[in-house]
Structure 1
Amino acid sequence: MNSPRRSSVRSPIAWSWMLLAFLLFGCGGGGGGGLDPILGPPVLGVPPTVSATSPAASEPPVSGVAISSSVQATFSKRMSADSLTASSFTLACPAGASMSATVTYDAASSTATLTPTAALPPGTLCVATVTTAARDTTGLALAANFSWQFRTAGLPDTTRPTVIFTVPVPTATGVVTNTRITATFSEAMRAASLTADSFVVTGGSPASPIGGTVSYSASSRTATFTPTAATLPVNTVFTATVTTTATDAAGNALAGNTAVAPNAGNHVWTFTTGSTADAIPPTVLVVNPVAGATAVCRTQSINASFSEPMDPASIDTTTFRVTENGVAVSGAVSYDASNRIATFSPTAATGFSANVALSVTVASGAAGVRDLAGNPLAADQVWSFSTGTQACAPPIDLQSIAGFGAFGGGAGVTNQGINTVIGGNLGTTAACTLVTGLHDRFDIYTETPLNVGAVDGTIYCAPPAPGTVAKFDIATQARADAQASYNQLAALPAGSDPGAGQLGGLVLPPAVYTAAGGTFAITSGDLTLDALGDANATWVFQSSAAMTIGLPGIPRRVFLINGAKASNVFWQVGSAGRIEDGSTMVGTIIAPAGITISTAGQTVQTTLTGRAIGLTASVTMVNTTIVAP
């Protein structure tokens, strides 16, 4: 007996799905890209995720967050604005103590911003949560609540943000005509303050504004200007300007780079286009951990270094994915524009699972990562590694001293010269009368026509006026935190001394280095620190006595390559530190006997991208630029 035949008549629901598939994707056999003609594209039914946060979601939690900061969550998909409210996006400081706040949503960047109605409590571990009440525009909710922690600073943020990196770089020539223009900031910015009014590009003769839109990526602290036209005019000089209406998360206005008022004006740079557009796909140059690595510590971040500047908006948890046995691992993705490194950080407190194989994919194609000209990665970058059981070494927690560019122990801070600029706060537990040749936005500290130095943040010192008890208390806490950081650095297990105390001419990977003879010097050549593609690579230099950078008339430099960051370089100096005229130094220097930068009467600029922290003695400087990373 013949088996019954299945009816070829489809239900009305099936016909509806077929019609939808036809309208969306066409009926050609080769145009579906493997999509089911009835069920539609795989993206349908995929819940949204939190792809980036500010403050960043990391373990251990980010510290030093300004008490006036807002909190941001960027999503992998467009969200329903109605679903993002003070009930679905919450903040508790500390855990269990809910903060009153308002929540707004920016559809262009898929970013929700939570703005507390009052300042956050200082020195507190806060918990931000996006709940499953948050839905995308199709009604799909987050699969699970997403929570992360951060610790607030012990003092208010009065430091103005700066532009630390741009694409194109200043005075660049031969720039491709289809590039976007980006500006990366020193700290988290208010997305709403970055618009076509605060980020302006002009060009031509006479110069006129270029039409375009501005977006902001919280995960990379980068604003992107996208010209309306597909290409810019060829062989043309353009001027890009980020104005002081751009503010950080605490509401501080941008500190610019204009010659008339370098600590108050706009940030302005120029570039010149060439005659061609960019059609070359980017590539991944270096990955970390490397393919096949074993026993990787569980809280290790995953990094991919690119061949050219990338579009920050294209780098998130949908295009930089980590899976364990085919299941997505929860994490947050950030992008370091200056080093062209994307980083995936696990959000679990313990990091990745122990003794497991993990697969990493950087996606290609139209829905993958792309460069600033819009060119996608040509093929997926896929690699695997396995974890061990151990956690990574804990980071150095500077706590409140992280907000200071210079600190003069109990002996004060002295500037000589008219070209000194301190990024960050400046402090001492001494009376304010021992701070000389400096000013912040509020007060002047014994300046003369020949000794003028600008402090971008606030000067904290003891009475008499302009010192106050409150300022002295902040300075006292910063001094205690600096001592704790010094002790943490000194307690690390001793490392090697590859140059017998002489670091000049060396190229060093991340590690702890200990001066066998008690002193470190960079005098015979320059020092290069190579991160090997690890965005969290850390260097600690331990010296029981002195540290010297450069010689009289022979400045020396410290170079950072392959993702190395000044914020991850530390110098624990047992006595005093000295940076000679015109040298370029990197890292946080903590020295009980104080730090001397340059020589009186010198006009050449000396630069420290880091911090000069004296625990007991003073910090003295001449025509010095300090940028606290």
Structure 2
Amino acid sequence: MLTNTYQSYFFILGFFITASMLNAGCSDGGPPGLSESLDETVSPIEVIDTFPEYADENIELDVSIQATFSASIDTSSINDSTFIVREGGIEISGTFSYSGSTVTFMPNRTFARNTSINTTITSQVADVEGNTMDQEYEWNFTTRPATTYEATPPTVIETNPKDGATDISANTNISARFSKTLNPETINSNTFYLRNNNGSIIPGSLSYTDSTATFSPSESLPDGVEYTATITNDIEDPFGNSPDQSYNWNFTTKEIDRTPPRVISTNPENHEEDVAFDIQITATFSERIDPATINSNTFRLRTNLNSISGSVSYEDSTAVFKPSSTLQDGIVFTAIITDGIQDLKGNSPPNNYSWNFITKEIDRTPPHIISTKPQNEEDDVPIDIQITATFSEQMSKSTINEDTFELYQWQWGQYRKLSGSVSYSGSTATFTPGTDLRDEQYYTVIISSDVTDLAGNALGATYRWDFETEDD
């Protein structure tokens, strides 16, 4: 047994001595020595780690794929032909980065959900010494399934204007806010549009930001028109989900008031007569008027010769012209509302509005007595007579009394005032003596100049007449 051991030892020792001699003998360009042959032995590289690992599941969609090799890699050998990534059999483009012996593939887009990703590294990949893999390396992993958020289609959760809204401004932009972010490329004139009540498409532009799409009409919308806004089911979220159906909502623009205001009543009325001298002239309109347009330039009063000064006020729907002084009596006045007034929407009447009235004519004619009973210088007058005086017009009753309607008897060269009562009815005053008159006596009746008519005009002069009673 020992002999065999020594034999082996000497055999090995002899092998190395011989090899050394051979090497020394070839140092001048002869055949390579054993040590050189050993140094040139080829050692293939291999993949020693990956991320994700083989058969991993629930991998995020934006994952970058890594492969770590057993040696530093010649980066020129890494390209899309030697490091191939496939999604569902379709090659995915991307970029590469390097760190030590690790190569990282960064896809140009996120991977699809719940999809098998296959990565193949071919045998053309080499390390910095030129060593290659003895065979290609391949592994798979699976991306995560869709989340509830990703799988849920977008819906419209708010609009402006709201569905059924009325009185909407003609300059309103129409917007729709969604339940989630959309793919902006799917928001266009084919998926978001506005139509009028005739079905015509309204031209405009679209914008999208923060889950809200906005349609801006190119021009102001006509007033009083119903519009329908539509979001079709061709819109998509970033995950390719579309709504189950299109979404429509309606609104109506505010109707512009183009009806001009008009005068519906006046005081005094047109052609009214006997109008008081201190009247305030009013005009009531069919709607509220812009107070700034009611002034002395738009509400005027005049005669056929002159303008009447005054102040103008306005409350509710009524304008008031207050003359600076009382109006003259018995004069025709013309009130004018010009077309310079405006309602609250800026509408003006097409023409001026005017009306006429006549102030009450003051009675300046004094009354006079047109008949008496008994008549002047009448004789044989009954002793129980009631003495009357009839005037040319109605008199002020308060001025007809015992002090202004008197009866005197001529006796013994002088006049004696007789007592009695005075009454007035219609236009006739009556004096009733306190007792029967005496026969064959002369009497004088006096009505004072202080009696007046209803306008205050006095009789002007004392009225007197005489009579003689009968012979009993």
Q: Normalising by structure 2, what TM-score?
A: 0.26
Q: Normalising by structure 1, what TM-score?
A: 0.20
Greater Cα radius of gyration, structure 1 or 2:
2
Q: Which has the higher contact order (CA 8 A, sep 6+)?
A: 1
